[in-house]
Amino acid sequence: MNLAAAQVSIEPVAMMAPERAVWLAAGRDLRLGLRSRAELIQALVFLIIVVSLFPLAVGPESALLKRIASGVVWVAALLSVLLTLPRIFAADYADGTLEQLVMSPYPLPLIAAGKMLAHWLMSGLPLTLIAPLLGLQFGLEANELVVLVASLMLGTPILSMIGAIGAALTLGVRGGSILMALLVLPLYVPVLIFGSGAVEQSMVSIDYSANLSLLGAGLLLGALVVPFAVASALRISLD
Amino acid sequence: MTLAATGLTLSRGPRRLFSDLSFRLVPGQALVLRGANGSGKTTLLRVLAGLTVAEGGELRWHGERWTALCAGQRAASLYLGHANALKDELTAAENLAEALAFDGMVIAGSLQRQSLDNMGLAGRHHLPARRLSQGQKRRVGLARLALARKPLWLLDEPTNALDADGVALFSTVVAGHLQQGGMACVASHLPLSIAAPVLELVLSELPI
């Protein structure tokens, strides 16, 4: 057997660009996500069903439905994202790949950022793209739909980031998914208020840009801070 | 290059796993950890990997102090734990490629395929990991060991689930690594035949 050819000498390897970690981690999770598409679709179907329950429950009065539309879509989006949060780290934790990611020479915050990006691409983004259809169900006008999509586009990445902190902190805890929901939902409140607030303001022709700006600011702040928080939480959870 | 541990101490709850544990490992040397179930072999390996923080003592790599999961430690060590760290959805070849990518290695696909062949996985490169047997999963880990250029190997029960042929392969891979000046820490309750200087460390129950 020729093992010698496969063995390479032990020398320190020149590190590649650290930012590659983001694309490596995102690419890996996207590939895994696309291999189990059923899970992706489940969260979307959940969103559609939850939103469709409201007209059935509160009756077909169009003025009332329009009044509650932004709140309903936002709450359903939030629950749908919550449903997908365990996917970020739980499987990696169970099969031991999370230890390998933590031990990777790449900076862990960047790996965490890549995983959050992949999570958003597979939960928040599809949800944002389907939101106009749900809004139509409630009789929202075109300009209101645009605001709804804009608020979700800015808000759902924040949901992924806050959720990732919760998911990382509750790894390996029994009953962790309930604990995670209790931990994460209160932190989702500001996003919910600014997001659905923007749509409501557009419905009564008030300037909604302040709400969207706040969401954008939250997104930027989160992108800077959250990867480090998640990295620390993962190290603690694995200890 | 040396790995020097001095005064490592760690308790789990009321139980002291090890206290004031010191050893020195030089290139070409293997440290074999022995001990009953629950005596702290895995925990010690995790301390060496940086995954678990010791309560006392320090690790030095070539004189440079390692804090848990510092850049130097992550660059130098490769840890194979109890779990195989394979994604069920990916094939054997994809799993190997992903693992090496996160190890910071760029290794040609042909070398990767050859390494899988060497480990007795010829014709199984494109099977999803969930279809591989436990021993075959271990062999994917061996292929990664043989390719990733890391000086310090931390292996937890690496021969579990391997057949006789697999154990022989493992010994060859470890011997090759040590010959090239690598180091290895191996926790095992099975006999290992490593053709190299071996330091044996027996962990025993400590009084509370």
- Could A103 and B180 be called an inter-chain contact, meaning their C-beta atoms sit closer than 8 Å? no
CA distance A75 to A155: 12
d(CA B207, nearest CA chain A) in Å: 24
Residue B75, SS3 per DSSP: helix
Q: What is the pLDDT of residues B86-118, one digit of tens each?
A: 999 999 999 999 999 999 888 888 999 999 999
Among candidate residues A51, A196, A219, A25, the one with its CA nearest the CA of residue A104? A25
- Could A239 and B51 be called an inter-chain contact, meaning their C-beta atoms sit closer than 8 Å? yes
What residue of A is the nearest CA neighbor of B109? A6
Name every chain B residue with its beta carbon within 8 A of the beta carbon of A15. 75, 104
A to B CB pairs, distance under 8 Å: 109
ipTM above 0.90, yes or no: yes
Cβ neighbourhood burial of A56 (10 Å; 0-12, 13-18, 19+): exposed
CB nearest B176 (choices: A3, A13, A105): A3
> With b meaning 16 or more CB within 10 Å and e meaning fewer, what string describes B137-156?
bbbbbbbbbbbbbbbbbbbb
CB nearest A104 (choices: B89, B102, B181): B102
**What local confidence, expressed as pLDDT, does residue A15 receive?**
56
Query: pTM, whole model, 2 decimals?
Result: 0.91
**What local confidence, expressed as pLDDT, does residue B79 receive?**
95
Name every chain B residue with its beta carbon within 8 A of the beta carbon of A12. 75
What pairs with residue B65 in β-bridges?
B60
Could you give the C-alpha distances from B97 to B85, B131, B205, in angstroms and in order?
A: 13, 18, 40
C-alpha A85, offset from chain centre: 7
Name every chain A residue with its beta carbon within 8 A of the beta carbon of B170. none
Give pLDDT tens digits along chain A (239 positions).
444 433 444 444 445 688 889 999 999 999 999 998 888 899 999 999 999 999 899 988 889 999 999 999 999 999 999 999 998 999 999 999 999 999 999 999 999 999 999 999 999 999 999 999 999 989 999 999 999 999 999 999 999 999 999 999 999 888 888 999 999 999 999 999 999 999 999 999 889 999 999 999 999 999 999 999 999 999 999 98
**CA angle at residue B182 from B180 to B183, to 5 degrees?**
150
d(CA A146, nearest CA chain B) in Å: 38
User: What token pair was written down for B47?
Assistant: 């301390």
What phi, psi does B80 have (nearest 5°)?
-115, 110
User: What token pair was written down for B86?
Assistant: 């394979």
Name every chain B residue with its beta carbon within 8 A of the beta carbon of A32. 87, 89-90
CB nearest B103 (choices: A6, A104, A238): A104
Name every chain B residue with its beta carbon within 8 A of the beta carbon of A105. 71, 74-75, 103-104
Q: Is B156 left (phi over 0), alpha (psi -120 to 50) or beta?
A: beta
Q: How confident is the model at residue B203 (pLDDT cuts 50, 70, 90)?
A: confident
d(CA B147, nearest CA chain A) in Å: 6
A interface test, pick of B17, B46, B102, B126 with most A CB neighbours within 10 Å: B102
- Could B81 and A96 be called an inter-chain contact, meaning their C-beta atoms sit closer than 8 Å? yes
d(CA A115, nearest CA chain B) in Å: 13
CA distance A77 to B123: 45
Q: How confident is the model at residue B190 (pLDDT cuts 50, 70, 90)?
A: confident
CA distance A51 to A127: 12
CA distance B135 to A41: 34
CA distance B9 to B11: 7
Name every chain A residue with its beta carbon within 8 A of the beta carbon of B86. 95, 97
The residue type at A125? L
**What local confidence, expressed as pLDDT, does residue B114 receive?**
93
**What local confidence, expressed as pLDDT, does residue A179 receive?**
92
Long-range contacts of range B194-197, CB-CB < 8 Å, 24 or more positions apart? B194/B30, B194/B32, B195/B171, B196/B28, B196/B29, B196/B30, B197/B28, B197/B29, B197/B30
d(CA A225, nearest CA chain B) in Å: 20
Q: Is B106 left (phi over 0), alpha (psi -120 to 50) or beta?
A: beta
The answer to whether B152 and B77 have CB atoms below 8 angstroms apart is: yes
CB nearest B49 (choices: A96, A97, A103): A103
What residue of B is the nearest CA neighbor of A2? B118
What residue of A is the nearest CA neighbor of B130? A95
Name every chain A residue with its beta carbon within 8 A of the beta carbon of B71. 105
Q: What is the pLDDT of residues B33-48, one digit of tens each?
A: 988 888 889 999 999 9
CA atoms within 13 A on the CB side of A170: 21
